[in-house]
Structure 1
């Protein structure tokens, strides 16, 4: 029996925010994978090491968590006033599919640095020392993101003293602006609040009637009160991820919320749309010990938020969910705003399992509907490895 040799594909392994993933320049992909479809999905699954019934992704680049089972494809943009197109693929760990339904806000921070270092930005736009402004078209959701990337001696500055809870070492700060972050039809409805309500009531079997804020901003997200489902908002991963009954409850809430938001047509479709929507629970501020051992005092935060990604409690906070948190917090009446004490606010600092994060949002009421012009947060990014990934021939 003949065995095909492995194929080498240029790639860069990068951390962005509290996530990391394998980045590709579109023209570097094999021809069959340069267009969306089964060949592309099969290639990315093999690169990451999925599906893996052992849940370890040992035979691939994935790190066996939702935060580390990610892929990114970057291309020079043909859209006016944009530099690059950014396409994100969330790779399932134990199932044979790639979810293209949403963005990764954390890896967004690495897109600008990748674009600069790969020569995708006009050299005249890159200062010798200063900040390079990169306009990104987020192709999954059809939105503009602006990244402000520090440059030193004409190259991306990666080292620095900016600290981000959930990331062990400091790095250079990258400010990211999510412009007009409310999702459009591709993201699940033309309105920030797809039901038209700031608070809805979901009837979830086994849970009961549950108040929820359903919002399309950054990524479609379902917010519920922690106390209503038996939590206080200070929980860390072990309290949720080791509890099969709790995970099933959150998945049921997520499925019913997705149905109400119009993201799926029947509950069974939720299993094939793991990346979106997200489900999160909120609580008023309280002190707790973060996963690193850091003490978070009640006065350090405006509210507490815990969010699930790909069926597990996230170790920190997804960047897109942080956009949803900042947006919802800026709008009086949402469950997020209520947990933060109510009233109007332009920024919020929330507690998550790894520590705290501040996110800002500019919201205003127009013709009876809430509009958010942008959400802003700071992240960092770093190249971990660059060269080639290898996949067995015939695997895609």
Structure 2
């Protein structure tokens, strides 16, 4: 019917500290089952973008980088994998979908979604215990292994695992990001694209900043908090309430992206909001988290604050956590130095909502660092399932 709405099967899920609309590839309209303008237009309309009001009132988005997301899952044709997982970061006030990186938080929901959608061999799903789901992350060409709790042959979503940045406890989903460094198409072609653990990054209007530029989990620019006048204990309002601060971080991000080989000119960064991320680090300090609870210096190894889609994140992006764990494991990076230096296999860092522990296994061979695996725990839950409706296009 002309002028009507199209119904598309969909599931609205929380994964870690993010939310997104999940689709089975086969359920999308034919034109949107392949990459291109039709797919992007559909997801923009589903999420409610572009919205000049910045609220996404007429869509499923929640008007933040953490809630303006879409996921497409399909049975994998890649040997040794159960599903292919494609992530789209939907811009809020601009008409584009950024496919340049992964969402580590929503990665926690892919395994549960795949099991519930019948994409995992029933013979591999225990009656009770953990179901191992091998996920091919199609954006960056990497493998993620999810250990999903199962009870009574179905995904167990409730539990007592607490994740700072998420109000209610849930069941723990353990994630392993295999060979997370060197993002290939999504990165600059190496874990440290410049060949250095620390670079001098010249940023017009800001100065020369020491920076660790790393491709692990997601391309990330790390700088010292003190070098830009911060302590590392800041909460969202301290950054997001300052247009000058946001402009400074975007300028640093753009110049870092050029240095990493992700873009050729700084003005290209405006169309590549999802990657790279930018974060600032500092040694441990006691502070009050956004929930009101105290985070004590003795309980953490370092402080990290990260920006996503131009705003300070309310907690920590899962992919940035992989970058943090990887950089912390390599002596001499700014992240490692903020944590006290030395060899480390895991760190617990403070973020605006509390703390997070992430591990990484790093080895040095012939002067080159390699990371075989990064790991962390998240949780996931189905919030709503059924159909999402969009006007006919």
SS in 1 for 2:381: strand
Q: Corresponding residue for 2:157? A: 158
| Alignment of 1:19 onto 2:18 | yes
Cα displacement string for residues 201-252 of structure 1 (whole angstroms, at most 9, x for unaligned residues): 1110111000000000000000000000000000000000010000000000
- Distance in 2, matches of 1:217 and 1:45, equals 28
| Alignment of 1:113 onto 2:112 | yes
- Answer yes or no: is the 8 Å Cα contact 2:134–2:146 preserved in 1: yes
| Alignment of 1:258 onto 2:257 | yes
RMSD: 0.7
- Answer yes or no: is the 8 Å Cα contact 1:141–1:183 preserved in 2: no
Deviation at 1:187? 2.0
**Under a length normalisation based on structure 1, what TM-score does the superposition of the two structures give?**
0.99
For structure 1, the residue ranges without an aligned partner over 5 or more in a row are none
- Distance in 2, matches of 1:366 and 1:263, equals 26
SS in 1 for 2:181: coil
SS in 2 for 1:67: helix
- Answer yes or no: is the 8 Å Cα contact 1:330–1:361 preserved in 2: yes
- Answer yes or no: is the 8 Å Cα contact 1:22–1:61 preserved in 2: yes
Matches within 5 A, 1:200-349: 200-349=199-348
How many pairs align? 393
Q: Corresponding residue for 1:83? A: 82
Deviation at 1:159? 0.1
TM superposition outliers: structure 1 runs of 4+ over 6 Å: none
Q: Corresponding residue for 1:188? A: 187
Q: Corresponding residue for 1:64? A: 63
- Distance in 1, matches of 2:343 and 2:189, equals 24
Deviation at 1:189? 2.4
Deviation at 1:3? 5.1
- Answer yes or no: is the 8 Å Cα contact 2:141–2:184 preserved in 1: no
Q: Corresponding residue for 1:352? A: 351
Cα displacement string for residues 94-125 of structure 1 (whole angstroms, at most 9, x for unaligned residues): 00000000000000000000000000001000
Deviation at 1:190? 2.5
Cα displacement string for residues 352-385 of structure 1 (whole angstroms, at most 9, x for unaligned residues): 0000000000000011110000000000000000
- Distance in 2, matches of 1:302 and 1:184, equals 26
- Distance in 2, matches of 1:184 and 1:281, equals 21
Cα displacement string for residues 8-34 of structure 1 (whole angstroms, at most 9, x for unaligned residues): 000000000000000000000000100
- Distance in 2, matches of 1:13 and 1:66, equals 16
- Distance in 2, matches of 1:183 and 1:71, equals 24
- Distance in 2, matches of 1:182 and 1:39, equals 32
- Distance in 2, matches of 1:388 and 1:123, equals 25
Q: Corresponding residue for 2:147? A: 148
Q: Corresponding residue for 1:48? A: 47
For structure 2, the residue ranges without an aligned partner over 5 or more in a row are none
Cα displacement string for residues 282-320 of structure 1 (whole angstroms, at most 9, x for unaligned residues): 000000000000100111110000000000000000000
- Answer yes or no: is the 8 Å Cα contact 1:183–1:219 preserved in 2: no
Deviation at 1:188? 1.7
- Answer yes or no: is the 8 Å Cα contact 1:290–1:355 preserved in 2: yes
